[in-house]
Amino acid sequence: MLKYLIEGGNKLNGEVKISGSKNASLPILAASILNPNPVTFYNVPDIEDVNTTLKILKILGCKVTRKCDKITISCKKVNSYEIPKELMNKSRSTVILAGAIIGRLNQVTFSNPGGCNIGKRPIDLHLEAFQKMGITVIKGLNEVKCYSLVGVKGAKIILKFPSVGATENIILASVYASGTTYIYNAAMEPEIVDLAKCLNSMGANIKGAGTSKIIIRGVNKLHSCSYTVMPDRIETGTFLCIAMATKSKLHLKNVNANDLLSVILKLQEMGAKIAIKDNEIFINASSEKIKAINIITKPYPGFPTDMQPIFASLLTKASGKSKIEETIFENRFGFCDELRKMNAKIVKNGNSIQITGVRELTPSRVKCLDLRAGAALVLAALSTTGVTEIDNVEHILRGYENLDEKLRKIGANIKLISD
Ligand code: UD1
């Protein structure tokens, strides 16, 4: 077990280089399965979710080489259509490998991903879309088998909800499909645009990514490519919130501010001074009081659910009452119990919480329940005088690259230790 020991209260100052996006890297790595030629990706973060995906690719028969943020993958021959259960259980996002495997081999078997700490997370939309594409889906108690004897067919798919994972799985499954696939009510997240750009750079024919209607015309072959993964917008938002919570000045590099306008607007509403220049963001929160605000999470371009726990943590120190309504995941307030251990004043009511700001939180021993809940606790600890102990930091390592090292460089007192 890994834990952070954080002695909070320091003002932070300096530059942070934001890593490549976790949520874009995972479908892009999955896309390599479709391509029999070598592909090279840059700006891939060194995080556990990426490591898990790479382990699965190797088991499937892909050759993987990695040097810092550069990963080269060669999937000349894919030997297996089964996603190993023990690795699939490590990260739910591995479900998007299914679309790529079926796109390449016309069959895939994987374990039922099941629920997690933030909700039930069904995959019905993924599987209904596969069926529309002529794929037979057999759902067992623990396993899902998908196959098509005649190959994947283009289809018109209307998603009941703009699911990010379902949109990615459909795109991956339809790259080689016969005919054209239309996705209506598609997710519009920047990571979908990144996946489509990457696949198009291999020779796929995908139009409309970033809008609610995506059109994929099936192609016969893909070629080699080099592609640079987009910056991680949630890591960017996390550092902006940390600056605000610790009344600091930070300069974030390798970012794309356009991908996080809803987050920047909320921080400005809270009083942050933010300047944007090309791929850099400067935040100066050194003399700001944090104003209470209201937030409703929505699919992109709305306020991202992944930032919700981190904003909730920040708002525990705002002056006045804030309200957050969570509309994407049904169980994403578990972290509030941990923040209450630090004397945060949070009341839950259905899918909303009301937060009454307090002057100071109290250091305590708390534990991460999931990735973003963990980041919320790091923020709380950094802004609280005294030593906070955060258990189960493995969740954070799934999605933030060298978080402790990046924080130490800007003046935080944080240690990663094993229990
Ligand atoms: C992705 C992101 C995650 C982010 C989320 C929403 C990755 C690796 N993860 O997750 O960080 O929080 O988007 O922006 O990119 N749903 C169904 N049936 C389905 C699929 C989804 O009911 O078949 C529901 C989910 O339970 C959830 C909502 O739709 O309530 C959103 O899920 P989805 O957009 O699919 O999120 P993920 O792709 O899992």
User: Dihedral through CA 373, CA 239, CA 196, CA 112, nearest 10?
Assistant: -10
Q: Chain-centre distance of CA 127, in angstroms?
A: 21
Q: Could you say which of 116, 146, 225, 368 is catalytic?
A: 116
Per-residue pLDDT averaged across 14-38, rounded? 98
Q: Which atom of ligand 1 is nearest to the CA of 299?
A: 14
Q: Closest Cα to atom 24, ligand 1: which residue?
A: 121
* pTM to 2 decimal places: 0.97
Are the C-beta atoms of 174 and 130 separated by less than 8 Å? no
Q: What is the model's pLDDT at position 141?
A: 86
Q: What is the mean pLDDT of residues 370-378?
A: 97
DSSP string, 108-125: EEEE----BTTB----HH
Q: Rounded to the nearest 10 degrees, how much is the dihedral formed by the CA atoms of 152, 153, 159, 164?
A: 40
Mean pLDDT for all residues in the chain: 96
Q: How big, in percent rounded to 5, are the helix, strand and coil portions of the chain? A: 35, 30, 35
Minimum mean pLDDT range among 83-87, 114-118, 197-201, 343-347: 114-118
Q: Whose CA is nearest to atom 7 of ligand 1?
A: 23
Reported as a single tens digit per residue, the pLDDT across 99-110 is 999 999 999 999
Strands 225-228 and 39-42: parallel
CB 206 within 8 A of CB 276: no
Q: Which residues line ligand 1 (CB under 6 A)?
A: 23, 26, 93, 119-126, 161, 163-166, 187, 191, 305-306, 328-329
Residue 55 predicted with pLDDT over 80:
yes
pLDDT band at 115 (very low <50, low <70, confident <90, very high): low
Distance set, CA 402 to CA 17, 19, 45, 243, 294 (Å): 11, 9, 9, 17, 31
Instruction: Provide the pLDDT for residue 294.
Output: 98
pLDDT recorded at residue 113? 76
Instruction: Indicate which residue's Cα is closest to atom 17 of ligand 1.
Output: 122
pLDDT tens digits for 207-259? 999 999 999 999 999 999 999 999 999 999 999 999 999 999 999 999 999 99
Alpha helix stretches (DSSP H) within 220-370: 233-245, 261-269, 308-315, 335-341
Q: What is the mean pLDDT of residues 414-418?
A: 96
Q: Please report the atom of ligand 1 found closest to the CA of residue 49.
A: 8
The pLDDT value given to residue 114: 65
Question: In the predicted model, is pLDDT for residue 290 greater than 70?
Answer: yes
- Mapping DSSP to helix (H, G, I), strand (E, B) and coil, where does residue 376 land? helix
Give dist(CA 28, CA 230) in Å, integer. 11
| 3 state DSSP class of 276 | strand
Going along the chain from its start, the domains and CATH numbers come out as: 2-19+231-418 (3.65.10.10), 22-228 (3.65.10.10)
Task: Please name the residue that has the structure tokens 């198009």.
Answer: 200
**Run of H or E residues at 27:** helix 22-31
Q: Say whether 345 sits in a helix, a strand or coil.
A: strand
Contact 62, 136 (CB under 8 A): no
**Is 116 an annotated catalytic residue?**
yes
Locate the ligand 1 atom nearest the alpha carbon of residue 234 and give its number.
11
Q: How many residues are present in the chain?
A: 419
Radius of gyration of the chain from its Cα atoms, rounded to whole angstroms = 21
Q: Ligand 1 pocket check: which of 44, 328, 371 to mutate, most ligand atoms within 8 Å of Cβ?
A: 328
Q: Which atom of ligand 1 is nearest to the CA of 123?
A: 23
Closest by CA to 168, choosing from 79, 92, 262, 258, is 92
Longest dimension (CA), the chain: 65
Cα(280)–Cα(25) distance, rounded to whole angstroms? Answer: 21
For residues 198 and 119, the model is more confident at 198
- Pairwise CA distance, residues 124 & 107, whole Å: 18
How many Cα atoms are found within 13 Å in the side-chain-facing hemisphere of 322?
27
Q: For 132-164, how does the pLDDT look when each residue is reduced to its tens digit (9 = 90+)?
A: 999 999 999 889 999 999 999 999 999 999 999
Q: How many CB atoms lie within 10 A of CB 321?
A: 14
The mean per-residue pLDDT over the stretch 37-57 comes to 97
